[in-house]
Amino acid sequence: MTTTEFQVAGMTCSHCEHAVSEEVGQLPGVESVDVNASTGRLLVTSTAPIPDEQVLTAVDEAGYTATRS
């Protein structure tokens, strides 16, 4: 298992968390997604490392921007 942390900008509520979680959770190999709107933290746990660009694109699809922590 691999866990990667990102910082997401612009999230303010549980709807934001859900949108990011849904998009990132669809990536192949993702086992779990933990999103916290108040801290902007996104933790992605996967069976193997996932390229950062894939996660960043998924966050972008949800309407937010992220950077690797």
At residue 50, the pLDDT reads 95
* Positions in the chain short of pLDDT 70: none
Q: Which two tokens stand for residue 24?
A: 């990132």
Q: Give the largest CA-CA distance in the chain.
A: 30
Q: Which domains does the chain have, with CATH numbers?
A: 2-68 (3.30.70.100)
Side-chain half-sphere exposure of 68, counting CA atoms within 13 A: 9
pLDDT at 52: 97
Q: Find residue 34's DSSP bridge partners.
A: 43
- At 34 the pLDDT is 98
CA proximity to 21, closest of 35, 2, 37? 35
pLDDT in the model for residue 31: 97
